[in-house]
Amino acid sequence: MALVLSLFGRLLTALTLRLARAFLFTRELSEQLEKPVRLLLPLVGVQGVWTSAPNDLHFIDAARHVTTL
């Protein structure tokens, strides 16, 4: 799931950079948000996996906490 969201993040940022090429503000905004989006989307996927994991797994609470932070 994290891999799919990572690929989606790359596709999304490439698309927004291409669409925003003609507009100064949106181009700058897209360039500034490119790296955070590429990091955030896989973390959202991992958070979804942690949420659906059973509570009796070892260190699941710590993993959820670190991912949330």
In sequence order, which residues have a C-beta less than 8 Å from that of residue 45 and are 6 or more positions away? 1, 2, 4, 5, 6
Domain span at 58:
2-68
The reported pTM is 0.59
Model pLDDT, residue 42: 82
Model pLDDT, residue 23: 87
In sequence order, which residues have a C-beta less than 8 Å from that of residue 36 and are 6 or more positions away? none
Model pLDDT, residue 2: 67
**Residue 45 in contact with residue 4, Cβ under 8 Å?**
yes
State how many domains the chain has: 1
C-alpha 58/C-alpha 36 separation (Å) is 30
pLDDT per residue, tens digit, the chain (69 aa), is 667 777 887 888 888 888 888 888 888 888 888 888 888 888 888 888 888 889 888 888 888 888 887
